[in-house]
Structure 1
Amino acid sequence: MAYWLYKSEPATWSWDQQVAAGATGTHWNGVRNHVAKQHLQAMQVGERGFFYHSNEGKSVVGIVEVIRPYYPDDSDPTGRFGMVDLKAVEPLKTPVTLQAIKAEPRLAAMMLVTHSRLSVQPVSEAEWAVVCKMGGLT
Protein backbone atom coordinates (compact mmCIF):
# COMPACT_ATOMS: atom_id res chain seq x y z
CA MET A 1 0.00 0.00 0.00
CA ALA A 2 1.23 3.48 -0.87
CA TYR A 3 0.70 6.60 1.23
CA TRP A 4 0.13 10.14 0.02
CA LEU A 5 -0.15 13.76 1.08
CA TYR A 6 -2.76 16.13 -0.35
CA LYS A 7 -2.32 19.87 0.08
CA SER A 8 -5.25 22.26 0.18
CA GLU A 9 -5.65 25.85 1.23
CA PRO A 10 -8.32 25.86 3.95
CA ALA A 11 -10.04 28.88 2.36
CA THR A 12 -10.49 26.81 -0.84
CA TRP A 13 -11.19 23.34 0.61
CA SER A 14 -10.76 22.57 4.30
CA TRP A 15 -10.61 19.45 6.42
CA ASP A 16 -14.04 20.32 7.83
CA GLN A 17 -15.47 20.41 4.29
CA GLN A 18 -13.83 17.07 3.52
CA VAL A 19 -15.42 15.57 6.64
CA ALA A 20 -18.79 17.08 5.73
CA ALA A 21 -18.63 15.31 2.35
CA GLY A 22 -19.18 12.08 4.30
CA ALA A 23 -18.71 8.54 3.05
CA THR A 24 -19.41 9.54 -0.56
CA GLY A 25 -16.37 11.80 -0.40
CA THR A 26 -15.44 14.27 -3.08
CA HIS A 27 -13.16 14.60 -6.06
CA TRP A 28 -9.64 15.99 -5.74
CA ASN A 29 -9.54 18.15 -8.85
CA GLY A 30 -7.62 21.15 -10.12
CA VAL A 31 -4.18 19.53 -10.16
CA ARG A 32 -2.23 21.00 -13.07
CA ASN A 33 1.27 19.72 -12.43
CA HIS A 34 2.52 16.72 -14.41
CA VAL A 35 4.44 15.18 -11.49
CA ALA A 36 1.38 15.48 -9.24
CA LYS A 37 -0.69 13.99 -12.10
CA GLN A 38 1.59 10.94 -12.14
CA HIS A 39 1.05 10.51 -8.41
CA LEU A 40 -2.72 10.68 -8.88
CA GLN A 41 -2.50 8.08 -11.65
CA ALA A 42 -0.58 5.73 -9.35
CA MET A 43 -3.19 5.81 -6.58
CA GLN A 44 -5.28 2.75 -5.79
CA VAL A 45 -8.62 2.49 -4.01
CA GLY A 46 -8.05 2.02 -0.28
CA GLU A 47 -4.74 3.86 -0.11
CA ARG A 48 -4.54 6.55 2.53
CA GLY A 49 -3.08 10.00 2.65
CA PHE A 50 -2.55 12.98 4.87
CA PHE A 51 -4.81 16.01 4.43
CA TYR A 52 -2.53 19.02 4.74
CA HIS A 53 -3.67 22.62 5.23
CA SER A 54 -1.28 24.75 3.18
CA ASN A 55 -0.59 28.48 3.47
CA GLU A 56 -2.94 29.01 6.42
CA GLY A 57 -2.22 26.59 9.26
CA LYS A 58 0.53 24.67 7.46
CA SER A 59 -0.19 21.37 9.16
CA VAL A 60 -1.30 17.79 8.62
CA VAL A 61 -4.81 17.72 10.09
CA GLY A 62 -6.39 14.45 8.99
CA ILE A 63 -6.31 11.20 7.07
CA VAL A 64 -8.20 10.56 3.84
CA GLU A 65 -8.70 7.45 1.72
CA VAL A 66 -8.87 7.00 -2.05
CA ILE A 67 -12.36 5.78 -2.95
CA ARG A 68 -12.19 6.15 -6.74
CA PRO A 69 -9.05 5.85 -8.86
CA TYR A 70 -7.83 8.35 -11.46
CA TYR A 71 -10.32 9.61 -14.02
CA PRO A 72 -10.60 12.74 -16.23
CA ASP A 73 -10.92 16.09 -14.45
CA ASP A 74 -13.91 17.82 -16.03
CA SER A 75 -12.58 21.20 -14.86
CA ASP A 76 -9.59 20.83 -17.23
CA PRO A 77 -10.47 22.18 -20.70
CA THR A 78 -7.31 20.61 -22.18
CA GLY A 79 -8.32 17.08 -21.14
CA ARG A 80 -4.75 16.35 -19.98
CA PHE A 81 -5.34 16.14 -16.24
CA GLY A 82 -7.40 13.94 -13.97
CA MET A 83 -8.48 13.44 -10.39
CA VAL A 84 -9.29 10.86 -7.75
CA ASP A 85 -12.08 10.76 -5.18
CA LEU A 86 -11.27 10.91 -1.48
CA LYS A 87 -13.20 10.47 1.75
CA ALA A 88 -12.21 11.60 5.23
CA VAL A 89 -11.16 8.78 7.57
CA GLU A 90 -10.13 10.48 10.81
CA PRO A 91 -8.61 13.66 12.15
CA LEU A 92 -5.23 13.72 13.80
CA LYS A 93 -5.63 14.18 17.54
CA THR A 94 -2.97 16.88 17.33
CA PRO A 95 -2.27 18.67 14.03
CA VAL A 96 1.33 18.18 12.93
CA THR A 97 2.77 21.49 11.80
CA LEU A 98 5.27 21.98 9.02
CA GLN A 99 7.60 23.44 11.64
CA ALA A 100 7.38 20.21 13.68
CA ILE A 101 7.93 18.10 10.55
CA LYS A 102 11.03 20.11 9.62
CA ALA A 103 12.35 19.74 13.18
CA GLU A 104 12.04 15.93 13.12
CA PRO A 105 15.29 14.41 11.73
CA ARG A 106 13.47 11.25 10.56
CA LEU A 107 11.39 13.45 8.21
CA ALA A 108 14.28 15.38 6.64
CA ALA A 109 13.81 13.61 3.28
CA MET A 110 10.00 13.89 3.26
CA MET A 111 8.78 15.51 0.04
CA LEU A 112 6.84 18.07 2.08
CA VAL A 113 10.24 19.33 3.24
CA THR A 114 12.24 18.84 0.03
CA HIS A 115 9.57 19.65 -2.62
CA SER A 116 7.19 21.83 -0.67
CA ARG A 117 5.28 23.26 -3.64
CA LEU A 118 4.03 19.92 -4.99
CA SER A 119 0.29 19.62 -4.23
CA VAL A 120 0.09 15.81 -4.28
CA GLN A 121 3.05 13.80 -3.09
CA PRO A 122 4.02 10.33 -1.92
CA VAL A 123 4.80 9.60 1.72
CA SER A 124 7.02 6.67 2.69
CA GLU A 125 5.78 4.05 5.14
CA ALA A 126 8.35 5.22 7.72
CA GLU A 127 7.30 8.88 7.30
CA TRP A 128 3.65 7.84 7.61
CA ALA A 129 4.34 6.12 10.92
CA VAL A 130 6.29 9.07 12.32
CA VAL A 131 3.67 11.68 11.39
CA CYS A 132 0.83 9.50 12.69
CA LYS A 133 2.63 9.13 16.01
CA MET A 134 3.32 12.87 16.17
CA GLY A 135 -0.39 13.45 15.51
CA GLY A 136 -1.49 11.19 18.36
CA LEU A 137 -2.47 8.17 16.26
CA THR A 138 -1.01 4.71 16.74
Structure 2
Amino acid sequence: MRYWLMKSEPDDCSIDDLAAMPDQTVAWYGVRNYQARNFMMHQMAVGDLVFFYHSSCPAPGIAGIARVASPAYPDATQFDAASRFFDPKSAPERPRWFNVDVRFVRKTRLIPLPELRAQPALANMRVLAPANRLSITPVDPDEWRFILTTMLELDPDEL
Protein backbone atom coordinates (compact mmCIF):
# COMPACT_ATOMS: atom_id res chain seq x y z
CA MET A 1 0.00 0.00 0.00
CA ARG A 2 1.28 3.42 -0.98
CA TYR A 3 -0.13 6.83 -0.19
CA TRP A 4 -0.53 9.83 -2.48
CA LEU A 5 -1.66 13.42 -2.60
CA MET A 6 -3.45 14.33 -5.82
CA LYS A 7 -4.33 17.92 -6.65
CA SER A 8 -7.53 18.89 -8.43
CA GLU A 9 -8.93 22.31 -9.16
CA PRO A 10 -12.36 22.29 -7.50
CA ASP A 11 -13.82 24.22 -10.46
CA ASP A 12 -12.91 21.18 -12.57
CA CYS A 13 -13.58 18.36 -10.08
CA SER A 14 -14.04 18.80 -6.34
CA ILE A 15 -14.41 16.18 -3.63
CA ASP A 16 -18.15 16.98 -3.66
CA ASP A 17 -18.27 16.38 -7.42
CA LEU A 18 -16.57 13.01 -6.95
CA ALA A 19 -18.97 12.08 -4.15
CA ALA A 20 -21.94 12.90 -6.40
CA MET A 21 -20.78 10.90 -9.43
CA PRO A 22 -22.84 7.78 -10.17
CA ASP A 23 -19.99 5.31 -9.60
CA GLN A 24 -18.08 7.78 -7.41
CA THR A 25 -15.04 7.39 -9.65
CA VAL A 26 -13.24 9.84 -11.89
CA ALA A 27 -10.40 9.58 -14.37
CA TRP A 28 -7.47 11.69 -13.15
CA TYR A 29 -6.93 13.18 -16.59
CA GLY A 30 -4.90 16.11 -17.82
CA VAL A 31 -1.62 15.34 -16.05
CA ARG A 32 1.10 16.81 -18.27
CA ASN A 33 4.17 16.38 -16.13
CA TYR A 34 6.39 13.36 -16.76
CA GLN A 35 7.21 12.78 -13.10
CA ALA A 36 3.53 12.80 -12.07
CA ARG A 37 2.70 10.59 -15.07
CA ASN A 38 5.43 8.15 -14.07
CA PHE A 39 4.02 7.93 -10.54
CA MET A 40 0.71 6.80 -12.06
CA MET A 41 2.30 4.42 -14.56
CA HIS A 42 4.98 2.79 -12.43
CA GLN A 43 4.20 3.22 -8.74
CA MET A 44 0.46 3.57 -8.18
CA ALA A 45 -1.53 0.42 -7.62
CA VAL A 46 -5.24 -0.28 -7.32
CA GLY A 47 -6.17 0.17 -3.67
CA ASP A 48 -3.58 2.84 -2.83
CA LEU A 49 -5.04 5.66 -0.74
CA VAL A 50 -5.09 9.30 -1.82
CA PHE A 51 -5.50 12.64 -0.12
CA PHE A 52 -7.79 14.59 -2.49
CA TYR A 53 -6.35 18.10 -2.50
CA HIS A 54 -8.12 21.22 -3.77
CA SER A 55 -5.65 23.50 -5.57
CA SER A 56 -5.69 26.77 -7.50
CA CYS A 57 -8.56 28.06 -5.38
CA PRO A 58 -9.05 30.57 -2.54
CA ALA A 59 -8.52 27.89 0.16
CA PRO A 60 -6.20 25.13 -1.09
CA GLY A 61 -5.88 22.05 1.06
CA ILE A 62 -6.82 18.43 1.71
CA ALA A 63 -10.56 18.04 1.22
CA GLY A 64 -11.08 14.29 1.27
CA ILE A 65 -9.81 10.77 0.76
CA ALA A 66 -9.99 8.65 -2.36
CA ARG A 67 -8.60 5.31 -3.49
CA VAL A 68 -6.83 4.39 -6.72
CA ALA A 69 -9.45 2.38 -8.62
CA SER A 70 -7.67 1.38 -11.84
CA PRO A 71 -4.24 0.78 -13.26
CA ALA A 72 -2.84 3.53 -15.47
CA TYR A 73 -4.29 3.75 -18.98
CA PRO A 74 -3.93 6.27 -21.83
CA ASP A 75 -5.51 9.66 -21.16
CA ALA A 76 -8.06 10.17 -23.95
CA THR A 77 -7.82 13.97 -23.71
CA GLN A 78 -4.38 13.90 -25.35
CA PHE A 79 -6.00 12.80 -28.63
CA ASP A 80 -8.92 15.26 -28.57
CA ALA A 81 -8.06 18.39 -30.58
CA ALA A 82 -10.85 20.27 -28.79
CA SER A 83 -9.41 19.54 -25.34
CA ARG A 84 -7.10 21.92 -23.51
CA PHE A 85 -5.02 18.80 -22.80
CA PHE A 86 -4.59 17.90 -26.48
CA ASP A 87 -1.04 16.83 -27.36
CA PRO A 88 -0.32 16.78 -31.11
CA LYS A 89 2.81 14.69 -30.46
CA SER A 90 0.76 11.83 -28.96
CA ALA A 91 -0.67 9.04 -31.05
CA PRO A 92 -3.04 6.25 -29.97
CA GLU A 93 -0.39 3.66 -30.82
CA ARG A 94 2.22 5.60 -28.76
CA PRO A 95 0.43 7.58 -26.04
CA ARG A 96 2.53 9.95 -23.95
CA TRP A 97 0.03 10.67 -21.17
CA PHE A 98 -1.80 8.36 -18.80
CA ASN A 99 -4.32 8.59 -15.99
CA VAL A 100 -5.78 6.40 -13.29
CA ASP A 101 -9.31 6.32 -11.95
CA VAL A 102 -9.87 7.28 -8.34
CA ARG A 103 -12.84 6.28 -6.18
CA PHE A 104 -14.43 8.40 -3.48
CA VAL A 105 -13.79 7.19 0.07
CA ARG A 106 -14.89 10.12 2.20
CA LYS A 107 -15.03 13.86 2.47
CA THR A 108 -13.03 15.33 5.36
CA ARG A 109 -12.81 18.71 6.93
CA LEU A 110 -10.64 20.97 4.82
CA ILE A 111 -7.06 21.01 6.05
CA PRO A 112 -5.78 24.26 4.56
CA LEU A 113 -2.25 24.63 3.28
CA PRO A 114 -1.15 26.95 6.15
CA GLU A 115 -2.29 24.34 8.70
CA LEU A 116 -0.28 21.64 6.92
CA ARG A 117 2.77 23.93 6.84
CA ALA A 118 2.45 24.62 10.59
CA GLN A 119 2.96 20.95 11.54
CA PRO A 120 6.59 20.04 12.37
CA ALA A 121 5.75 16.38 11.66
CA LEU A 122 5.07 17.35 8.03
CA ALA A 123 8.20 19.45 7.49
CA ASN A 124 9.48 17.07 4.79
CA MET A 125 6.16 16.50 3.06
CA ARG A 126 6.78 16.76 -0.65
CA VAL A 127 3.77 18.90 -1.46
CA LEU A 128 5.07 21.51 1.01
CA ALA A 129 8.51 21.79 -0.59
CA PRO A 130 9.35 25.20 -2.08
CA ALA A 131 8.43 25.49 -5.77
CA ASN A 132 6.63 22.13 -5.80
CA ARG A 133 4.12 22.21 -8.64
CA LEU A 134 3.49 18.50 -9.11
CA SER A 135 -0.16 17.52 -9.22
CA ILE A 136 0.63 14.09 -7.78
CA THR A 137 3.10 13.45 -4.98
CA PRO A 138 3.83 10.45 -2.80
CA VAL A 139 3.00 10.75 0.88
CA ASP A 140 5.25 9.05 3.42
CA PRO A 141 3.39 6.50 5.58
CA ASP A 142 4.25 8.47 8.74
CA GLU A 143 2.89 11.68 7.17
CA TRP A 144 -0.26 9.83 6.09
CA ARG A 145 -0.79 8.44 9.58
CA PHE A 146 -0.15 11.83 11.23
CA ILE A 147 -2.66 13.66 9.00
CA LEU A 148 -5.24 10.91 9.31
CA THR A 149 -5.04 10.30 13.05
CA THR A 150 -3.90 13.64 14.49
CA MET A 151 -5.34 16.23 12.13
CA LEU A 152 -8.47 14.40 10.98
CA GLU A 153 -8.94 12.16 14.02
CA LEU A 154 -9.75 9.15 11.83
CA ASP A 155 -8.97 5.49 12.38
CA PRO A 156 -6.82 4.18 9.50
CA ASP A 157 -8.48 0.77 9.81
CA GLU A 158 -11.84 2.29 8.85
CA LEU A 159 -10.73 3.29 5.34
Pairwise same-fold verdict (TM > 0.5): yes
Counterparts of 2:44 and 2:17 in 1: how far apart (Å)?
22
Report what 1:45 is aligned to: 46
**1:22 and 1:106, CA in 2 relative to 1: closer, same or farther beyond 3 A?**
farther
From the CA coordinates, give the structure whose radius of gyration is larger. 2
Q: Counterpart amino acid of 2:111? A: V
1:76 Cα deviation (Å)?
1.1
Structure 2, gaps ≥5 residues long? 80-89
Report what 1:81 is aligned to: 97
Q: Counterpart amino acid of 1:107? A: L
- Measured on the aligned residues, the alpha-carbon RMSD in Å equals 1.3
Counterparts of 1:98 and 1:69 in 2: how far apart (Å)?
29
State the percentage of identical aligned residues.
37
1:24 Cα deviation (Å)?
5.0
Counterparts of 1:63 and 1:123 in 2: how far apart (Å)?
13
1:135 Cα deviation (Å)?
2.0
Report the 3-state secondary structure (helix = DSSP H, G, I; strand = E; otherwise coil) of the residue aligned with 1:19. Answer: helix
More strand by share: 1
Q: Counterpart amino acid of 1:74? A: A
| Structure 1 runs (4+) greater than 3 angstroms displaced | none
Worse overlay, 108-117 or 46-55: 108-117
Count of matched residue pairs: 137
Structure 1, gaps ≥5 residues long? none
Q: Counterpart amino acid of 1:76? A: Q
